[in-house]
Amino acid sequence: MTMDFQYTILIPILLFFSFVYNILWGRTRSPKIAGLISTTTILIAAVLSYYTAYQYFFNVGLVNGSYEKIIAFKMVWLHFSDTLVVDMGILLDPISIMMLVVVTTISSMVHIYSFGYMHGDDGFARFYAFLSLFSFSMLGLVVSSNIFQMYIFWELVGVSSFLLIGYYYQKPSAVAAAKKAFIVTRFADLGFLVGILLISYVTGSLDFAVLTDPNGPVMLQGASLGFMGLSVMTWALILIFIGGAGKSAMFPFHIWLPDAMEGPTPVSALIHAATMVVAGVYLVARLFPLFHIAAPNAQYVVLAVGGFTSLFAAVIAITQIDIKRVLAFSTLSQLGYMMAALGASGYGAEEGIGYTASMWHLFTHAMFKALLFLGAGSIIHAVHSNNMTDMGGLRKYMPITHITFLIGTLAIAGIPPFAGFFSKDEILVALHQSSHFWYWVEVITAGLTAFYMFRLYFNVFWGENRHYHHKPHESSLSMTFPLMFLAFMAIVSGGFFMFDFGAFISSNLVPYDIHIHWDIAGLSIFVALIGISLAAMLYLKPSGISTKMATALGPVYKATYNKFYFDEIYLFVTHKIIFNLIARPSAWFDRHVVDGFMNMLAWITNFVSGSIKGLQSGQLQHYAMSFVSGAVALALFFLYFMTR
């Protein structure tokens, strides 16, 4: 049965109008109106997305055994040349529909939550305007039918992220964090752009339909052209992956994400945990056939970077004290899992389990990580501090936050029957099939994850009872409702789909059955339990063991706590090298050498004219004198020649 999906254009358009209205007129109206407009539009978008998902999966369903890619809408935006065309379109396929659901769900929850969290803030309307802008851009990104369209929205989510990180613009640290996030990702986006340029040059197309057709001519193009031992297509995809790594904060571009926690907590939940940061993963998934078939080397890079980042970030997360930063590093680590799964995946139904697992983990992670962040926001709202050293024993004061946070923690730790267990298990299965080395890395990471998450949980909700200036109390319903909803999702999105996620999403659009591999799952549960027990030993009751261990480890602890000094390295490169060795000298060179040369020309002209201007003194005697001597000289001259 064919379906007309043209109405889906409304999803981004509505949000765009909400943004325009709020940014232009929001300030002058009551803040509530701005909030209501944004929230209503995102809820409508969510309903439309669910409806689309229902129609797509159950009404249109399979055609000849596989899902179709449907172009619901398409218009030409710009002609570069006859073949290189930028379309604005809406591409509906399983992953884009899944993303529609994820983005609108999380975004709706964050909108509702912010009513409570941002209550009374000066920039309430501005906040909601930017949320709408972000949702618009993110939805535009996921439905892109053209790689250039994706790049356009890619940049727009980047700027929304900038605006929201720097929301408290009077705070210098927030401004610095916003700038850092923008510039680091912009640098990575240059890779994306050059990658697009290479692709456009090699294939002569920007259309995803052409680029990802596994049987199309694109798969072979650029294979013959080589550069430094790798084909041009490999280079192009590595460059595009750099763009994805920047957005998804993969090592070594990870440095912006922890700082991005300067933004309001609902923003961290929406942008820097659940949706925008998965754009890099989504990009690789979107181009997956190209990665797997045309450039296996580039796919290996994805695996290695993803795998390394997940371990690296997990190690750092153990030592952090700011609860939002612990969560930020855990986001990095989980994104690493998703990337690694894509890197390890094959193409096909069962062979492509990594692909399915990655998307599944994207889905479940969005739910439980948004839950954890919003929970953290609820805690921060009550305690007025980000540091877990200022917290303890909060379970008594905030029962809903406590229970929902525990559900989120269990989900991320990979304990059945919570969502994270299922998706993580499939990732480990995919890695087990592809590379034992990265499999073990991720098993270890799973243990670390359980440890640092329960360290956080015990420290905040158990541990020492603090003396609080104001007695902490549970947040209002607008904040607890999203927590409960997301907790519900964190339970069902794994178990509910238990053997079904493959029925919706697979690398070649052909559905298949997913099974739990108890040998692998058993090990990962075991590792997670070890992590939890260790954390319980150290942090459930106040004990000095952890401090002693930190002192005993000395420099190792310090290096980890300081995130292995990557921020310092970047500062050194930007300020010492780029600013002092390139920018300052070029400014100096321009003023003194280039301009100096021009001024010297002027000076010489001036000097010469100054030296000879004495000849025109305006005094008659001088003129007469010159005239007479000239005449005499001429006379002598002519006489001399005439008489020869």
Judged by CB under 8 A, the chain residues 100 through 119 that form the site for another protein are none
Measured between its terminal Cα atoms, the distance across the chain in Å is 115
Please choose, from the candidates 277, 261, 257, the residue with its C-alpha nearest in 3D space to the C-alpha of residue 567.
Answer: 257
Q: Between 175 and 415, whose beta carbon lies closer to another protein?
A: 175
- Shortest Å distance, C-beta 572 to another protein: 16
84 binds another protein (CB under 8 A): yes
Tokens of 250: 């993969």
Contact at 8 Å (CB) between 236 and 199? yes
Contact at 8 Å (CB) between 145 and 73? no
634: CB partners within 8 A, 6+ apart: none
- Shortest Å distance, C-beta 62 to another protein: 36
For residue 88, the cross-strand partners are 75
Q: What is the DSSP string of 308-351?
A: HHHHHHHHHHHH--BHHHHHHHHHHHHHHHHHHHHHH--SSSST
- Shortest Å distance, C-beta 617 to another protein: 25
DSSP-derived letter for residue 121 is -
474: CB partners within 8 A, 6+ apart: 382, 397, 398, 399, 400, 401, 480
Produce one character per residue of 581-594: b if its CB has 16 or more CB atoms within 10 Å, e if not.
Answer: eeeeeeeeeeeeee
Tokens of 344: 């390890």
Q: For residues 245 and 232, give the distance between their C-alpha atoms in angstroms, rounded to a whole number.
A: 20
Q: Between 139 and 391, whose beta carbon lies closer to another protein?
A: 139
Q: Between 64 and 224, whose beta carbon lies closer to another protein?
A: 224
Sole binder of another protein in the list 89, 116, 166, 352 (CB under 8 A): 166
27 binds another protein (CB under 8 A): yes
List phi, psi (to 5°) of 229: 85, -5
- Shortest Å distance, C-beta 27 to another protein: 7
Contact at 8 Å (CB) between 316 and 474? no
Q: Between 594 and 633, whose beta carbon lies closer to another protein?
A: 594
217 binds another protein (CB under 8 A): no
Q: Between 158 and 266, whose beta carbon lies closer to another protein?
A: 158
Decide: helix, strand or coil at residue 66.
strand
What element of type H or E holds 123? none
Q: Between 192 and 355, whose beta carbon lies closer to another protein?
A: 192
Judged by CB under 8 A, the chain residues 558 through 587 that form the site for another protein are 578-579, 582-584, 586-587
Q: Between 189 and 425, whose beta carbon lies closer to another protein?
A: 189
616 binds another protein (CB under 8 A): no
- Shortest Å distance, C-beta 529 to another protein: 46
548 binds another protein (CB under 8 A): no
- Shortest Å distance, C-beta 218 to another protein: 17
Judged by CB under 8 A, the chain residues 175 through 204 that form the site for another protein are 175-176, 178-179, 182-183, 186-187, 190, 193-194, 197-198, 200-201
Contact at 8 Å (CB) between 209 and 145? yes
Q: For residues 37 and 44, give the distance between their C-alpha atoms in angstroms, rounded to a whole number.
A: 11
- Shortest Å distance, C-beta 199 to another protein: 10
Q: For residues 126 and 373, give the distance between their C-alpha atoms in angstroms, rounded to a whole number.
A: 21
- Shortest Å distance, C-beta 253 to another protein: 13
Judged by CB under 8 A, the chain residues 135 through 164 that form the site for another protein are 148, 151-153, 155-156, 159
Q: For residues 386 and 383, give the distance between their C-alpha atoms in angstroms, rounded to a whole number.
A: 8
For residue 90, the cross-strand partners are 73
Q: Between 154 and 418, whose beta carbon lies closer to another protein?
A: 154
The two most distant CA atoms of the chain are separated, in Å, by: 127
Tokens of 17: 């109008």
- Shortest Å distance, C-beta 369 to another protein: 28
13 binds another protein (CB under 8 A): no
Decide: helix, strand or coil at residue 126.
helix
79 binds another protein (CB under 8 A): yes
Q: For residues 97 and 54, give the distance between their C-alpha atoms in angstroms, rounded to a whole number.
A: 10
- CA torsion 77-80-84-89 (nearest 10°) is -10
- Shortest Å distance, C-beta 378 to another protein: 28
Q: Between 28 and 616, whose beta carbon lies closer to another protein?
A: 28
602 binds another protein (CB under 8 A): yes
Q: For residues 635 and 640, give the distance between their C-alpha atoms in angstroms, rounded to a whole number.
A: 8
Q: Between 569 and 578, whose beta carbon lies closer to another protein?
A: 578
500 binds another protein (CB under 8 A): no
Q: Between 78 and 571, whose beta carbon lies closer to another protein?
A: 78
- Shortest Å distance, C-beta 136 to another protein: 11
- Shortest Å distance, C-beta 201 to another protein: 6
Tokens of 269: 């939940």
Sole binder of another protein in the list 590, 625, 633, 637 (CB under 8 A): 590
Please choose, from the candidates 235, 259, 22, the residue with its C-alpha nearest in 3D space to the C-alpha of residue 131.
Answer: 22
Q: Between 153 and 461, whose beta carbon lies closer to another protein?
A: 153
Q: Which residue has the tokens 């697009």?
A: 196
- Shortest Å distance, C-beta 196 to another protein: 8
Size of the site for another protein (CB under 8 A): 49
* Window of 4-12, 170-178, 418-426, 546-554 that interacts with another protein by CB under 8 A: 170-178
**Residues in touch with another protein (CB under 8 A):** 27, 76-81, 84, 148, 151-153, 155-156, 159, 166, 169-172, 175-176, 178-179, 182-183, 186-187, 190, 193-194, 197-198, 200-201, 578-579, 582-584, 586-587, 590, 594-595, 597-599, 602
